[in-house]
Structure formats: structure tokens, C-alpha cells
């Protein structure tokens, strides 16, 4: 039996699986046929976000459509016990993409992209839709590469005020702030380790204005530091996710 971790893996919509057959279309089909050059008899892993992976033996392979039969189904046990959401202030292209990719690989389950007072990038509505499409594609590819059971969602771009409005919905919300000098993520988590949902808030390249942090704190967030060095926004996001998931196992 193939170990799904050694197979190329693809996320598909639930409607792509009918009975014991799977149909893959679009860019994933092109990758299977043209890039990976797989053919009839080869096997791939197919996930629909339900927490299982289907081992699929390909029957027909074309650039626009790939079909195959499910030969086995396995539970994917790669998801962390805590649901971790990263609220990331909008940054310039590559930096945003790096944060999304690496945080997905580490285990973040959701991203909220927001704009704060010091956010440099100010995209228009059309640009926002293009960016969201690009970001979701990056997250999907990162989830496939890292054997995730689900594809993290990406939503935005919301305002800092809108972000503040959802903070109370999490068991714990942590705002990274360079002006906080003593309170660290590890000490916050150690006070209560039974969290089901955590929100980590990461500011823009120029940092938060104090009144934004106070707004987050007023509705339940806790400010924290990552240490004495000032990190880039994307570095801070990745470091925070790694620390939290390591502390919570």
C-alpha cells in the first residue's frame, strides 16, 4: 500500500468525488499530465478537506481532465489540536506570500489580512480580488506540499476596527507589539494550556500605533513580545506560529 505522504497530493472539491471515482480538472490536471507526466496506473493522493486522503489510481490522464479510482482511504493526522488564526497586516507582495506559505506549512488554519494605519500598501477593490486569489493559491499549494488535511482559509482585506470586532470569538488573542518588553507568548500560554482557538495579530512594516494596540486590548487581546530584536512582519508571523504550536504540542 502506498504511503500518501510519498505521493503527490491535490485538494479537490467534494463534488469531484462521486462514488469511488475522482475527477481532477483545471490547473491540478495540467500539473498531473504536463508537469509531473503521470499516466494511467500511477497513484496520487486526493484530499477534499474532510480530514482524510484518498489514494487514487489514475485511469485516464489528459491536460484538461484526469480521472481515477479510489483504492484506499486513510485518516490524515497532521492537523494541530488548536485552531490557530493569523491576522496579518498587509505587506508588500513577496513578504505577504512568504508569511502565508510558511505559516500554512507550520499549521495555521486561517488567515485574516487587514489594513492598519501604518500599512504602506493601499490596493483598490480590483487589486484586492487578484491578491486574494493569488494568496489562496499559495496557501493551497503549501497545504498540499506539507501533507495538510485541510486548506487554510484566507479572508480580507478588513480594517483594524473590523479585526477588533472578531477578537472575542477566540479563546486567546495575542497582539505582537514592539513596545511590549516583558510579556512573552510562552508565558501567556503557560497560564492556561487548554485553548481551542488562538488568534495571533501581526502588524505592518512600520508597526502598530499605540491606539490600535489599546483597541485590541480593550476587547480581550493580550500584547506580547518576541524578544529584544525588531523582526520583519513576515518573520514575526512565522516565529509566533512556530512558538505557539510548539508550546501546545
> What per-residue confidence (pLDDT) applies to 214?
96
Q: Which of 28, 55, 75 is the last residue of a domain?
A: 75
Residue 109 corresponds to which cell in the numbers above?
Answer: 488554519
- 93: domain CATH number? 3.40.1280.10
User: Are both 59 and 137 inside the same structural domain?
Assistant: no
> What per-residue confidence (pLDDT) applies to 117?
83
| β-sheet bridge partners, residue 159 | 115
Instruction: Using pLDDT thresholds of 50, 70 and 90, give the confidence band for residue 3.
Output: low
Q: Which of 23, 53, 75 is the last residue of a domain?
A: 75
Residue 92 corresponds to which cell in the numbers above?
Answer: 508588500
> What per-residue confidence (pLDDT) applies to 205?
83
Number of domains in the chain: 2
CA distances from 30 to 12, 38, 143, 148 (A): 14, 10, 19, 22
User: Are both 24 and 143 inside the same structural domain?
Assistant: no
Instruction: Using pLDDT thresholds of 50, 70 and 90, give the confidence band for residue 241.
Output: very high
Instruction: Using pLDDT thresholds of 50, 70 and 90, give the confidence band for residue 231.
Output: confident
Q: Could you read off the pLDDT of 47-106 as tens digits, one per residue?
A: 888 888 899 999 999 989 999 999 999 888 888 889 999 999 998 778 999 999 999 999
Domain with 148 in it: 83-247
Q: Which of 75, 94, 112 is the last residue of a domain?
A: 75
User: Are both 151 and 203 inside the same structural domain?
Assistant: yes
Mean confidence (pLDDT) of the chain: 90
Q: Could you read off the pLDDT of 91-149 as tens digits, one per residue?
A: 877 899 999 999 999 999 999 999 988 777 777 777 888 999 999 999 999 998 888 88
User: Are both 51 and 88 inside the same structural domain?
Assistant: no
Q: Could you read off the pLDDT of 18-42 as tens digits, one per residue?
A: 989 999 998 889 999 999 999 999 9
User: Are both 51 and 93 inside the same structural domain?
Assistant: no
Whether residue 198 contacts residue 173, with contact meaning beta carbons closer than 8 Å, is answered with: yes
> What per-residue confidence (pLDDT) applies to 91?
87
User: Are both 51 and 136 inside the same structural domain?
Assistant: no
User: Are both 66 and 13 inside the same structural domain?
Assistant: yes
User: Are both 230 and 110 inside the same structural domain?
Assistant: yes
Instruction: Using pLDDT thresholds of 50, 70 and 90, give the confidence band for residue 156.
Output: confident
User: Are both 101 and 185 inside the same structural domain?
Assistant: yes
User: Are both 70 and 24 inside the same structural domain?
Assistant: yes
- 30: domain CATH number? 2.40.240.20
Mean pLDDT confidence for 216-228: 93
Mean pLDDT confidence for 188-213: 89
> What per-residue confidence (pLDDT) applies to 14?
84
CA distances from 177 to 14, 28, 47, 189, 234 (A): 41, 40, 37, 17, 14
User: Are both 151 and 214 inside the same structural domain?
Assistant: yes
User: Are both 166 and 208 inside the same structural domain?
Assistant: yes
Amino acid at each position: 500500500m502506498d504511503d500518501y505522504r510519498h505521493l503527490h497530493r491535490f485538494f479537490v472539491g467534494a463534488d469531484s468525488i462521486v462514488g469511488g471515482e475522482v475527477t481532477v480538472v483545471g490547473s491540478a490536471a495540467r500539473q498531473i499530465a504536463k508537469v509531473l507526466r503521470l499516466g494511467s496506473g500511477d497513484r496520487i493522493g486526493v484530499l477534499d478537506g474532510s480530514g482524510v486522503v484518498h489514494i487514487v489510481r489514475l485511469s485516464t490522464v489528459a491536460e484538461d481532465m484526469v480521472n481515477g479510482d479510489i483504492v484506499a482511504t486513510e485518516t490524515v493526522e497532521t492537523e494541530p489540536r488548536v485552531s490557530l488564526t493569523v491576522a496579518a497586516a498587509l505587506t508588500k507582495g513577496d513578504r505577504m506570500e512568504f508569511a502565508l506559505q510558511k505559516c500554512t506549512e507550520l499549521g495555521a488554519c486561517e488567515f485574516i489580512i487587514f489594513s492598519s494605519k501604518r500599512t504602506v500598501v493601499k490596493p483598490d477593490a480590483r487589486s484586492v480580488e487578484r491578491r486574494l486569489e493569488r494568496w489562496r493559491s499559495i496557501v493551497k499549494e503549501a497545504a498540499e506540499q506539507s501533507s495538510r488535511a485541510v486548506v487554510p482559509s484566507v479572508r480580507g482585506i478588513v480594517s483594524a476596527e473590523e479585526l477588533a470586532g472578531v477578537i472575542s470569538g477566540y479563546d486567546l488573542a495575542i497582539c505582537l507589539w514592539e513596545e511590549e518588553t516583558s510579556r512573552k507568548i510562552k508565558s501567556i500560554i503557560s497560564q492556561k494550556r487548554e485553548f481551542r482557538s488562538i488568534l495571533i495579530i501581526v502588524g505592518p512594516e512600520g508597526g502598530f500605533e499605540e491606539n490600535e494596540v489599546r483597541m485590541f486590548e480593550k476587547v480581550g487581546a493580550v500584547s506580547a513580545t518576541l524578544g529584544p530584536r525588531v523582526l520583519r512582519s513576515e518573520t514575526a508571523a512565522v516565529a509566533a506560529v512556530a512558538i505557539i504550536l510548539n508550546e501546545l504540542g
